[in-house]
Amino acid sequence: RVLRYTFFNTGGKPQGYCLQVTEDGLGAMWTLTASSEVLAAGPLSETSKEKIARKEWLQLRLEVSKARIRALIDGETVSNIIDTSLPMGQVALNCGYHKCQFDNIKVLPSSKNVTSFLATTSRELLKMYSPVTFHYDARTCDPSPAQTPKRDDFTGFVGLAFVPQVAVRLAALGRMVLRGGPPVAAVHNVELLEVDGKQLKYVASAAVPTTPSQQVGIIATDEGFQYAELRESVLLEPGHKYVLASSEISGGDFFYDKAVVAEASEGVQILGPAYSNQSGWTFDSEPNLLFGPLNALLIPAEAQTQQLFTPVADPEKAKHAASGPAFVMKSQESKATSTAEAEAEDGASPATPQWEVELVEDQTLSTLDLSPS
Mean pLDDT, contiguous 10-residue spans, the chain (373 residues): 62 76 85 86 92 89 84 92 76 75 77 64 86 65 70 94 95 91 90 92 94 86 90 94 96 88 90 92 90 92 56 43 37 38 44 45 42 45
Partners of residue 207 on adjacent β-strands: 189
The CA distances from residue 38 to 97, 100, 149, 180, in Å, are: 21, 22, 21, 15
CA distance 186 to 177: 9
Whether 69 and 223 have beta carbons less than 8 Å apart is answered as no
Phi-psi region of 74 (alpha: psi -120 to 50; beta: other; left: phi over 0): left
In the sheet where 15-24 sits, what is the strand order?
Answer: 2-4, 15-24, 27-34, 37-43
For position 13, what pLDDT does the model report?
Answer: 67
Closest CA to 360 of 332, 331, 329, 327: 327
For position 307, what pLDDT does the model report?
Answer: 43
For position 183, what pLDDT does the model report?
Answer: 86
Partners of residue 126 on adjacent β-strands: 264
Whether 242 and 248 have beta carbons less than 8 Å apart is answered as no
Partners of residue 30 on adjacent β-strands: 21, 42
| Residue 345, CB-side half-sphere exposure with 13 Å CA sphere | 5
Decide: pTM greater than 0.75.
no
% residues pLDDT > 90 (the chain): 34
**pLDDT tens column, 164-188:** 999 999 999 999 998 888 888 899 9
